[in-house]
Structure 1
């Protein structure tokens, strides 16, 4: 018996705030779920409806086909754009703090695409036994970052060749760019056994492969004005321009999950999922950054005291995927018919990994990150007309003590066009900021430690827009 042909179009828009600058060290999470789960606090381990669940919750593969033999194919395109503002303190005439003012802002976007399929059916021996096989290809982490800062003269004389009459004519640009994405290929199998008057018990297993990739780092100090007077360039950082490419090999890791009925409800389920830790790195990777004495955060530059030149310290790359334990619950016994509550907790054990870094004496030392806890709660209500309304809240602890925990709000809905066409959309939003050093410093480093006065304030926002197609036949 073949699945009915269904075209499932889902669109979501989400605003995500995170510390994108540090994605080059830790990797940024771009493992998107489907639009429905994004509206439900990004709980796609518990609520995913496409092949994206293969790597997280393969047990759910047995539920999605509903025992009907056939194949469903899905494709998803995600646009993740970020907006970053950096500001400095402005003092009044008495030397006291007056306000903060932005001196540079950057906005860039990157596309992340995923696709997959699910094949489902029933056992020939027992109709109560259902199974599902999933295959997916999706991005898991991103190293992408782009920074561009325009530099201008100070008190330029109007008789100086260049832009006549412009007091602060353009001098050049500071450019810093990272490019690279690690994709994840997953093959999973889930099997479920029905119980009388209860939801079925399901178990699943998946084998996942982190695909090989290349990461490119580029630093360019671009001068658009030429002069024999060295004082003209005092606003430009004395930074050595460089371009380097790093290669990371592939690696396998498994994942397993279990879904069981909630003992007090015949419509609700509890989800348990486990992913072991794994790590991939390039051959030339070593401790290649410092911890700033000013901000206490990773510092990617090195200063040569003999030449007074800065250079990018990064050599090679590493990605650590922590051990993850997920506990989720779909509670379907609310007073209102068609309503669903979602609870999900995810623990990421980053403390099991020691990061190499360089001390002030250029000796290799080790540092442990903080474990991350994700708390998610969400609500969905389906109306009789077929449309839904979704809301979610997620709280996420910080990876480093110097960074703030994040609270994200999400909402979503859908429009059922006809029996074959459905449109989903969602919006999620949270905001954060932190204080950090100037990434293109002018002059030699200093040993001051008052970050509130000397650090820049960084405000970041990321917006993700995704479209997902699902076709069953």
Structure 2
């Protein structure tokens, strides 16, 4: 029976590789449906932009006050497969043995204030955002093998129980900041913004359970020999600053942003995977057979398989290390819709820089997005993202398609944005049966759908 560990992607946007991200947290690249639909945080002009591009606060059709609420939903379909080979040990097909759906939801809210002072436009804002979620649910159905009643036609596979893994916890981000928009002449204006961001503390709960149905026969050989566990650990938040700069010449705008790095302290210092290995069977005084067990670690279990040991070593190092938020550098070029003082086309580049000593690698993201208004004033949006992976060499780069629309009714604006991506990678069986130890890597296929709905009211 297999119970594989998810080894990731990227965050593609977000996502993918859910189990792996349950250790470092899944986060969103942007919290506004409009900017999400065109694939760039540099396109957000609500107060939700504070943590990524605060200079955009003064962009758009601004009233004195505006408030925005976003609902964020992330659905992940995970399929894990065993690679089936023929008698010549060549690849034949993949046989799915587990299928899980994880759905995480959260909310974001922000408010901003605008004031024109001559040629200067001043904006200030506050936002409350979901920074990371550590939620993950895994359920692997375990079935046995019994002969049919007539013993000739088929074999039965009765349900015996489940491998169940659950992780729960989340962190939020509080941001406050302001921007100044300077009109230099009729064709040239400049915006500068700065924000302070605070990541809160949280507690993560994780448990792994082997759930067996009561039966007369011994069915333990169908289940993993991992020692079940239940852990609770604390994550201590941090704070960071974000700087944004935007220069607009007529309908062309150029943006720069910088996010300071941060470190989330993790007090889970000692965590590993241990297994029970039966080493001796003897008969006690009552004539009942007893088994003597020995506790072994994963590096002993896979002593002859360095590839699997490397996968597990890197995962455990990441799980027990402090969680690093990388430095983030952003660059964008946009074509503006001058009638709406907003972006109609944007190209963006982002670089995520980790410390060289950290287990994750620095990576980059490229995105392109477009917004088009129909005759009934409905905004149609599309985008494309390509991101290199921080989980080298295990995960390749990922691509995602973004989409959305928006509509305005007087002072009320409704936007919806979505993203779809697929990821395929390999990972070993972390929860094996020792007597049937699988030395090959499993194939993991993930489909990720993210939807964001934003409601903005200006007054």
Asked whether the 8 Å contact 2:34–2:404 carries over to 1, the reply is yes
**2:34 aligns to what SS in structure 1?**
helix
Name the CA distance, whole Å, in 2 between partners of 1:114 and 1:222: 37
Could you say if the C-alpha distance between residues 387 and 297 of structure 1 is closer, same or farther in structure 2, counting changes exceeding 3 Å?
farther
Q: For residues 101-157 of structure 1, what are the alpha-carbon distances to aligned partners after superposition, in whole Å with 9 as ceiling and x for unaligned?
A: 11110012111111111011123xxx1111111100111222221110000112356
Tell me the equivalent position of 2:189. Answer: 200
2:21 to 23, 26, 30: 23
Q: For residues 417-441 of structure 1, what are the alpha-carbon distances to aligned partners after superposition, in whole Å with 9 as ceiling and x for unaligned?
A: x334444333322211101111321
For the aligned residue pairs, the C-alpha RMSD in angstroms reads 3.2
Q: 1:62 offset after TM fit, Å? A: 2.4
Tell me the equivalent position of 1:181. Answer: 170
**2:254 aligns to what SS in structure 1?**
strand
Tell me the equivalent position of 1:409. Answer: 401
Tell me the equivalent position of 2:280. Answer: none
Q: For residues 27-53 of structure 1, what are the alpha-carbon distances to aligned partners after superposition, in whole Å with 9 as ceiling and x for unaligned?
A: 222354211111102x02x11132210
Tell me the equivalent position of 1:39. Answer: 37
Q: Could you tell me the TM-score, scaled by structure 2's length?
A: 0.82
Tell me the equivalent position of 2:145. Answer: 154
Structure 1: 5+ residue runs without aligned partners? 1-13, 160-164, 303-311, 356-367, 449-453
Name the CA distance, whole Å, in 1 between partners of 2:236 and 2:343: 45
Could you say if the C-alpha distance between residues 288 and 223 of structure 1 is closer, same or farther in structure 2, counting changes exceeding 3 Å?
closer
**1:299 aligns to what SS in structure 2?**
helix
Asked whether the 8 Å contact 1:296–1:402 carries over to 2, the reply is no
Q: Figure out how many residues of one structure are paired with residues of the other and give that number.
A: 414
Could you say if the C-alpha distance between residues 121 and 415 of structure 1 is closer, same or farther in structure 2, counting changes exceeding 3 Å?
closer
- Superposition pairs for residues 428-439 of structure 1, below 5 Å? 428-439=419-430
Q: For residues 329-353 of structure 1, what are the alpha-carbon distances to aligned partners after superposition, in whole Å with 9 as ceiling and x for unaligned?
A: 212389xx99822011000012x15
Tell me the equivalent position of 1:224. Answer: 213
Asked whether the 8 Å contact 2:13–2:28 carries over to 1, the reply is no
Name the CA distance, whole Å, in 2 between partners of 1:275 and 1:287: 31
1:268 matches 2:252? yes
Tell me the equivalent position of 1:10. Answer: none
| Worse-matched range after superposition: 27-36 or 246-255 | 27-36
2:113 to 106, 112, 119: 119
Tell me the equivalent position of 1:110. Answer: 104
Tell me the equivalent position of 1:254. Answer: 241
1:462 to 440, 443, 448: 448
Q: Could you tell me the TM-score, scaled by structure 1's length?
A: 0.79
Asked whether the 8 Å contact 1:137–1:183 carries over to 2, the reply is yes
- Superposition pairs for residues 414-453 of structure 1, below 5 Å? 414-416=406-408, 418-443=409-434
**1:255 aligns to what SS in structure 2?**
strand
Name the CA distance, whole Å, in 2 between partners of 1:84 and 1:466: 21
Name the CA distance, whole Å, in 2 between partners of 1:85 and 1:116: 37
Asked whether the 8 Å contact 2:334–2:343 carries over to 1, the reply is no
Asked whether the 8 Å contact 1:435–1:456 carries over to 2, the reply is yes
1:51 to 23, 47, 50: 47
Tell me the equivalent position of 2:276. Answer: none
Name the CA distance, whole Å, in 1 between partners of 2:61 and 2:399: 34
